[in-house]
Structure 1
């Protein structure tokens, strides 16, 4: 039995479960983020941070801020499927527009499963809120490339896209050739603080010749994870999304993007795979987007911290929020 004095992490929680918990709570109108769980892991402490709004849920999106004088801002999830980061970021910004988070749709109904088909599905939810442009989109980490695909689809519909904000989003120089199971090992298991290097190495090797369900079963057998409701579903969604991401051929679009890049290219945790260097595109302020857009179309904005701490560190997050607000105000005349 779980009580008000129990600690989330002492009960076996970890970063992935924190993301799942925050996202599922948002679906129920309980507003808190994965960052809140890390900062207040005991249940009664976390309860003091929860905002309740049972009327904010709309099909296909979550209302983070309901009112404002400027056009809405729509955020997409990270490559981890996390959209709770939007809450902590927007708390720091005195933003003058409605803000919505766009969870991943059910991938079971999408055929073919491509980033373009995901974007088309998400746009239906966007247009229920805002039938006409100008549209403003943003996202954090690799999942934010979905925002670019949404912009592509909107432009194909002859809509105006006035803002695309990338929070440290790298465009890889070459498409990845890893399998779905390897993607799950990389996206879900590699960042787990509770997983020792030897156990991760076992899973990484097993992923090279296994399916996602087989990899998850192997992880359970060796004690890497405990059976969790919806863990497998979330892992499959991550795999499907990264499959779509790998197959996406990024076009050049007639838009300007804002790249809020982390000034420290390192990560908090050393790579388990022994990578000693950062890819050139990941260390460039433009993060590789100048390969498909002109340098003048990529507005770079430095943010203190690395890819993780620019969002998790309160001071860095406040700086990011200020810079995001400044960028949004600079395009407000498009409304």
Structure 2
């Protein structure tokens, strides 16, 4: 028996790993399933000539040497880009003195956002005279937060008399109740005071799906996270409420945040989100959204940085339902938004994934206007040398597929459909076969993916020019393993090069390649990797500032 991590190395004592079995009793493989056999039956790195069976079971060693089963790897969920083992969180909950049994599941709220909910059966001594719902949620949240990263902390904790079971004795997930307001770590209610508190409370309630929000409530304890923080900032700008993401993280209680908010008589039209207001001698740093219009990655990354300068996250400019802007038009509109904040250079830009190519297009526009671009960060941005054989629609559909943790049968069914139907039909099929919850409204998902398809089309038609500029390429030092066939077969050779293909338009000397641990996803999602990226970004910013001087 071996407990191994995602890289096939033994996990430390007490840590969660996947169970592998070796020895003479291991079978040869699955009958007539060569691909599945290759995936599950692997050569042992511990005993020459032996093979290991990858069970998919999650476990950890207890102090007495026994293995504790923590659930299945195929129960793994993905929330806001993080792959999470609910069994590991449930095991931590069960360690609390108030808890006898616990289970953690991912649920969607009425807005379609997925979040973690913990269900607990209280210990006998706490069941009758224990804390009420809000106090219990607060105690359990504090306990889990002390042992696990923020993205693994459930947003709600529901007390139930017993875990509902199916006739087969398995957990009946459908019978688990939706969390009510008391399932959140709420403070004693006091109504909001004044215009700003009232406006913020209304926004919080809408975004968090709550009936009411009081002035002592805490945004993140109510289920807030970085994606919702981006939406909050965007909605607040429209109302003329001016504050930064840093303000929200530093003052997450409603009344404290309200004291940092400024009312603007004329709301900004730029759509730029202020992530940090840090004041220093250095010019601002502007981050560009990804090819899915997502700039939430900026919040987590900047939290790990002490940039010493203002940091802003750009949002996609508005587009009509009839015609999406070209890459140059997008760059021009974002250029105007940047110059509304910083009228003169030097300018500093950064972009992750295909958003980095948009950052390059913005740099092109600024240089055309005789401005200086002193810093350009490309965060694992591949510049392909040949047009993709996969259509933008199929590419976006396969990105959706790669984000799923589903069985082979449903994956293959959707994979056969990818590229042959519209995104709306594709998502409707995914919902019909149970990949997406049946009660979820698909409107926002369809709109997001349609925009991503249009962005990809605009990107495909953009001719990347050679510019008199230097760039930092922060490249992931591990390959991204694709599950979809076409993405496996059409991998860019540039994706294996530290320069990621940019030496075709820039001289190799003008590209500073910096390795970051992880693959394209985990370099940003895994906190330890993201901390390395943040430190490297800070170093590069310092070097560019010294060079400019």
Q: Which of the pair is proportionally richer in strand?
A: 2
Residues 289, 352 of structure 2: 8 Å contact kept: yes
Secondary structure of residue in 2 paired with 1:255: coil
Say which structure is richer in helix.
1
Q: CA deviation at 1:310?
A: 1.6
The CA distance in 1 between the partners of 2:107 and 2:528, in whole Å, is: 29
- Structure-to-structure mapping, 1:138-177, within 5 angstroms: 138-177=350-389
Q: Counterpart of 2:153?
A: 40
The separation in 1 between residues aligned to 2:341 and 2:445, in whole angstroms, is: 31
Give the drift of 1:118.
Answer: 1.0
CA contact (8 A) 1:177 1:246 kept: no
Alpha-carbon separation, structure 2, partners of 1:235 and 1:249: 24
In the TM superposition, what whole-angstrom CA distance separates every residue of 1:194-225 from its partner, at most 9, and x where no partner exists? x3333233333323232223323333333332
Cα shift at 1:276: 7.1
Q: For residues 35-80 of structure 1, give each alpha carbon's deviation from its aligned partner in whole angstroms, at most 9, with x where no partner exists.
A: x873324245882476345748954111110132210000011223
Q: SS at 1:10's partner residue?
A: strand
What is the aligned partner in structure 2 of residue 292 from structure 1? 505
Aligned-partner Cα distance in 2 for 1:225–1:62: 30
Partner of 1:101: 313
Distance 1:8 1:77 in 2: 32
Q: Please, which of 453, 466, 469 is the counterpart of residue 252 of structure 1?
A: 466
2:67 equivalent in structure 1: none
Distance 1:62 1:321, change over 3 A: same
* Distance across 2 between alignment mates of 1:246 and 1:204: 23
Q: Which moved more, 1:238-247 or 1:272-281?
A: 272-281
- Are positions 1:116 and 2:328 aligned together? yes
Match of 1:330, SS state, is: helix
Q: How many residues align?
A: 310
Moved more, 41-50 or 307-316: 41-50
**Which deviations, in whole Å up to 9, do the C-alpha atoms of 1:150-173 show, x marking residues without a partner?**
111111111111111011111112
Q: Secondary structure at the match of 2:106?
A: coil
Report the equivalent of 2:106: 10
Q: Distance in 2 between matches of 1:300 and 1:75?
A: 19
Given that residues 140 and 169 in structure 1 are in contact (C-alpha distance below 8 angstroms), is that contact kept between their aligned partners in structure 2?
A: yes
Aligned to 1:74: 286
Match of 1:240?
454
Q: When the two structures are superposed, what TM-score results if normalisation uses the length of structure 2?
A: 0.52
Q: 2:418 aligns with which of 180, 183, 207?
A: 207
- Name the residue aligned to 2:477: 263
- Give the superposition deviation at 1:105: 1.9
Q: 1:280 aligned to 2:493?
A: yes
The residue number in structure 1 matching 2:271 is 60
Secondary structure of the residue aligned to 2:450 is helix
Q: In structure 2, do the counterparts of structure 1 residues 263 and 327 end up closer, same or farther at CA, with 3 Å as the change threshold?
A: same
Greater shift in the superposed pair: 153-162 or 176-185: 176-185
The higher relative CO (CA closer than 8 Å, separation ≥ 6) is in: 1
Task: Summarize the Cα distance change of 1:232–1:9 in structure 2 as closer, same or farther, 3 Å threshold.
Answer: farther
Separation (CA, whole Å) in 1 of partners of 2:386 and 2:114: 31
Q: Equivalent of 1:87, from 276, 293, 299?
A: 299
Task: Please give the alpha-carbon distance, in whole angstroms, between the structure 2 residues aligned to 1:105 and 1:8.
Answer: 38
Of the two, which has the highest radius of gyration? 2
Q: TM-score, normalised by structure 1?
A: 0.82
Deviates more, 1:269-278 or 1:304-313: 269-278
Q: Which secondary structure state, in structure 1, belongs to the residue aligned with residue 320 of structure 2?
A: helix
CA distance in 2, matches of 1:8, 1:104: 35
Unaligned runs of at least 5 residues, structure 2: 1-92, 94-102, 116-148, 157-183, 186-218, 226-248
Q: Does 1:223 align with 2:319?
A: no
Query: Are 1:75 and 1:137, in contact at CA under 8 Å, matched by a contact in 2?
Result: yes
Q: Give the conservation status (yes or no) of the 8 Å contact 1:72–1:97.
A: yes
Compared CA separation, residues 176 and 111, structure 1 to 2 (3 A) = same
Q: Give the Cα separation in 1 of the matches to 2:105 and 2:356.
A: 28
Does 2:529 match 1:316? Answer: yes
Do the aligned partners of 1:303 and 1:319 also contact (CA within 8 Å) in 2?
A: yes
Matched residue SS, 2:351: strand
Q: C-alpha distance in 1, partners of 2:522/2:152? A: 14
Question: Are the equivalent residues in 1 in contact too, given 2:292–2:449 (CA < 8 A)?
Answer: no
Residue of structure 2 equivalent to 1:26: none
Change (3 A) 1:110 1:297: farther
Residue by residue over 1:280-332, the C-alpha shift from the partner in whole angstroms, topping out at 9 and shown as x without a partner, is 21111101101111101111111122222221222221111111001111122
Preserved contact between residue 175 and residue 247 of structure 1 (Cα < 8 Å): no
